[in-house]
């Protein structure tokens, strides 16, 4: 089941969590996806996938992330994917495991700390990685360290999103693989109608000058 949220709902979830008292070991409410065995499942059909929720109460894997929660992604399309926690309050951390939710059982794992745009100031992770159809992946989200001066902490809010990364995102008009003035017109049309095709920058669902800059950068980069 897809657990998607609108930007307005995401903001309300984050605001409510920020205003709530800091959770301690005695009053922390376990997240439903606190452990690997209870990971929230989504598939390629659910992409783009966006969630606003709160972290867990315990550390279920060695080392970072702390106060982790888990998602399981069943991939049905081989493609470059982007996983990120951009927009999370505080210093967040992410790991992705392939084929098993563990260090020992996974065929490979990757991690990141500060790759979101604006880092190191944003302190949030982003991983671009090719996912293969027919494989399952587990995503572990949490805090960079277990310390109240480096939020997020137990039950603190986080943002999580997953999307397929197009090889040439500025290619919005035919012919495919060629960038020209028609792509600029297509972007401006999409931008004027708040079409997701023009959403080139964070926060998701907000259309402003950052999206224009993002499109121009993608257009300048050209197509492979």
> Tens-digit pLDDT profile for the chain (224 aa)?
333 333 343 443 334 333 333 444 568 999 999 999 999 999 999 999 999 999 999 999 888 899 999 999 999 999 999 999 998 988 999 999 999 999 889 999 999 998 887 655 678 999 999 999 999 999 999 999 888 888 899 999 999 999 988 888 899 998 888 899 999 999 999 999 998 889 888 777 789 998 999 899 889 988 87
The answer on 144 and 61 residing in a single domain is yes
- Asked, for residue 175, whether it belongs to a domain, the answer is no
pLDDT at 223: 84
pTM flag (> 0.75): no
Task: Please spell the DSSP secondary structure of 156-175, one letter per residue.
Answer: -EEEEEEEEPPSSTT--SSS
Which domain does 198 fall in, by range? 181-221
Comparing CA positions, the residue from 106, 116, 210, 208 lying closest to residue 160 is: 116
Q: How many domains does the chain have?
A: 2
CATH number of the domain within which 131 lies? 2.60.120.380
Are residue 98 and residue 199 in the same domain, yes or no?
Answer: no
Same domain, 157 and 186: no
Q: Is residue 173 part of a domain?
A: no
Question: d(Cα 71, Cα 196) in Å, to the nearest integer?
Answer: 24
Residue 140: how many CA atoms within 13 Å on its side-chain side?
31
Which residues have C-beta within 8 Å of that of residue 194, sequence separation ≥ 6?
207
pLDDT at 45: 95
Give the chain's radius of gyration (CA, Å): 18
Between strands 66-74 and 109-112, the pairing is: unpaired
Do 138 and 195 reside in the same domain of the chain? no
Cβ-based neighbour number of residue 87 at 10 Å: 23
């Amino acid at each position: 089941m897809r657990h998607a949220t609108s930007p307005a709902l995401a903001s309300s979830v984050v605001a409510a969590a920020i205003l709530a008292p800091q959770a301690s070991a005695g009053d922390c409410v376990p997240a439903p996806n606190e452990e690997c065995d209870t990971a929230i499942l989504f598939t390629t059909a659910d992409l783009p996938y966006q969630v606003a929720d709160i972290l867990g109460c315990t550390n279920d894997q060695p080392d970072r992330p702390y106060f982790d929660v888990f998602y399981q992604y069943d991939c049905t399309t081989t493609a470059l994917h982007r996983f990120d926690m951009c927009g999370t309050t505080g210093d967040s951390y992410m790991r992705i495991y392939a084929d098993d939710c563990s260090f020992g059982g996974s065929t490979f794992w990757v991690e990141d700390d500060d790759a979101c745009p604006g880092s190191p100031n944003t302190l949030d992770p982003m991983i671009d990685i090719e996912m293969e159809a027919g494989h399952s992946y587990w995503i572990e989200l949490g805090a960079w360290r277990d310390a109240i001066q480096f939020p997020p902490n137990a039950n603190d809010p986080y943002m999580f999103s997953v999307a397929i990364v197009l090889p040439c995102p500025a290619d919005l008009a035919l012919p495919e693989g060629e960038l020209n003035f028609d792509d600029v017109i297509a972007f401006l049309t999409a931008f004027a109608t708040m079409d997701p095709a023009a959403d080139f920058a964070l926060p998701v669902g907000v259309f402003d000058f950052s999206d224009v800059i993002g499109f121009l950068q993608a257009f300048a980069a050209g197509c492979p």
